[in-house]
Chain A
């Protein structure tokens, strides 16, 4: 493949920490001091895209859907070495669940095509569903493999890779184009260089709106989402049992008694 591979990486901007705290009194997330960053799982997707480019040549385009401020996450991927960045941003996209998100991303991927491989992170740290990758593949009509932990090789329009299942590791071969979701053990994401950061400042982040992709309005955003959130609440506080102090011998004895009492030993 002398002309190289066309890779599209999908990313999402999320609140920085997974330990988002919920303020019991006001019932809202504590957002003070929480920055918006690239979804940590997507960093592995970006890195894998860059590694494919280094090995096989070609281009890496990055696509995100979100409010205008998500531009900063895309700019960061340019700093890392990605070639072009696209932000699907339109109020019509707001409130999308995974189905409507993947429908929209599918249209955008087709708009910025050609593509050989679309790479997604395994899931996001906010929504935590892992559904957008496989649903996107279905909208595009191409195969999907999730939990990818190694790309063994790409040749003759085929990709060979391994994926991590609950009970073992599977080696698969699939035709291109394909959508893959990569797991965290696939690589070690690089850091942006100062030069990369400087260059990224001026980079153009191209915006895509619903009109640009000829979207069916009934399939976008909230209206296009089969699911609805009806309630958001804090998990019920838990109540613990006895908490004991004492010498190591006393503590070990208490635990030992508890094990016997509960018939664990």
Chain B
């Protein structure tokens, strides 16, 4: 067995034990006068930073790759049936900011069977250059041909940053592309910024169900890749006066790998998708029983919104997974989010706290949901909601 690449210099160490407390994983223990690092160390760097004596070092072999030729921010514009997914506009919004900070260009790449309208839209939404690949055989997303085209493009254009929406497609495509390019990929980022000193991308993401946040860099390989949560960034505005260039790239389907065949596709029956809904009314374990969702549905219907559900209710089978809001479900950012009988576990809050207005109804005054709500009502949802729904219906009827 080899050694862990982390070591403590006993000449410098004073045995103060600060590192023991600094380790978020409890992997350092005092053994006699000195700290000792256990095998489950994750090399997260927390102790290295905490040590006042500089006694802890993580040994790394320096990368030799020439990174200077990589410039610009590239954004993958996902499309379904020719329609660009709005997460692409969010990536352009963030991408523009990062590109301006670096003083580098912003690129978008769009692959599909009819990409003209989409490319035009991307070009007026702040992309400097939109690369398109168009072929009838590229209508539906498949990992093989899509990632092969994108890998070629990255090798040619050499962007320094590559952003992909963390949709079900993006989460499949991103890792494959990162593995092909032998570069780092940070999953499900909720924050992206440029470190002004190093010009590296600081990628922040939740881990452990949102209980901790980690900031991650990709120092020695390019592009620095990230998948980005939908509904976390602000969309790029349309500016008709500032139109980017559209560059059509050739496609040779014969030369592309394409091992997995799509046999059938069934769109989900849901009329209102919780991610795109402007109003989401969610129910939690406070409903007490599965049939409690009837009252949630009544309110959602009165307001014209979609029904969301907390993880415990989905785990119990009260509601289907597609209704689940939270880190392990969907992130939502509606104009109004109503949390009814939801205590507000960290992982739930992570999926809805950026909503414009949050109203919570809960019996427990101490419920964490009240720490994020614009308005919290301490009461029995079964008593409050029917009265509220009636008021809303009456108001809408009058209007």
A157 at the interface (CB under 8 A from B): no
Given A144-B176, A234-B212, A235-B210, A244 and B377 contact (CB-CB distance below 8 Å) = yes
User: Measured between alpha carbons, how far is A255 from B260 in the docked complex, in Å?
Assistant: 51
Residues from chain A with a CB closer than 8 A to the CB of B182 are 99, 226
Residues from chain B with a CB closer than 8 A to the CB of A239 are 371
| Least Cβ–Cβ distance between B130 and chain A, in angstroms | 23
- A-B contact list, 16 entries, CB within 8 Å: A18-B209, A27-B22, A66-B40, A94-B42, A95-B43, A98-B185, A131-B178, A138-B179, A147-B168, A147-B172, A209-B1, A230-B202, A232-B212, A233-B215, A240-B370, A254-B377
| Least Cβ–Cβ distance between B212 and chain A, in angstroms | 6
B14 at the interface (CB under 8 A from A): no
Residues from chain A with a CB closer than 8 A to the CB of B57 are none
Which stretch in B89-97, B104-112, B264-272, B282-290 binds the other chain?
Answer: B264-272
Residues from chain A with a CB closer than 8 A to the CB of B345 are 19
Contact status A264-B371, CB under 8 Å: no
Residues from chain B with a CB closer than 8 A to the CB of A146 are 168, 171-172
Residue of A19, A89, A99, A255 with highest tally of chain B CB at under 10 A: A255
Contact status B206-A229, CB under 8 Å: no
- Give the A-B pair count, Cβ closer than 8 A: 325
Contact status B380-A248, CB under 8 Å: yes
Q: Which residues of A contact B (CB under 8 A)?
A: 15, 18-22, 26-29, 31, 66-69, 89-92, 94-95, 97-99, 102, 125-135, 137-139, 143-147, 160, 164-175, 184-185, 209-210, 218, 221-223, 225-235, 237-246, 248-249, 251-256, 258-260, 262, 264-265
Given A138-B179, A228-B217, A244-B375, A222 and B60 contact (CB-CB distance below 8 Å) = yes
Contact status A28-B21, CB under 8 Å: yes
Given A22-B211, A128-B208, A222-B43, A227 and B184 contact (CB-CB distance below 8 Å) = yes
Residues from chain A with a CB closer than 8 A to the CB of B43 are 94-95, 221-222, 229
Residues from chain B with a CB closer than 8 A to the CB of A129 are 187-188
Contact status B44-A232, CB under 8 Å: yes
Number of interface residues of B (CB under 8 A): 111
User: Measured between alpha carbons, how far is A92 from B2 in the docked complex, in Å?
Assistant: 5
User: Measured between alpha carbons, how far is A202 from B265 in the docked complex, in Å?
Assistant: 47
Given A241-B374, A248-B384, A264-B357, 16 new contacts (CB under 8 A): A68-B39, A92-B1, A99-B185, A102-B179, A130-B187, A131-B171, A131-B187, A132-B175, A135-B175, A144-B176, A221-B5, A226-B182, A228-B45, A229-B43, A246-B377, A255-B361
Which chain B residues (323-350) contact chain A, with CB distance < 8 Å?
327-328, 335-336, 345-347, 349-350
User: Measured between alpha carbons, how far is A221 from B39 in the docked complex, in Å?
Assistant: 13
Residues from chain A with a CB closer than 8 A to the CB of B374 are 240-242, 258, 262
B180 at the interface (CB under 8 A from A): yes
Given A22-B212, A167-B267, A265 and B395 contact (CB-CB distance below 8 Å) = yes
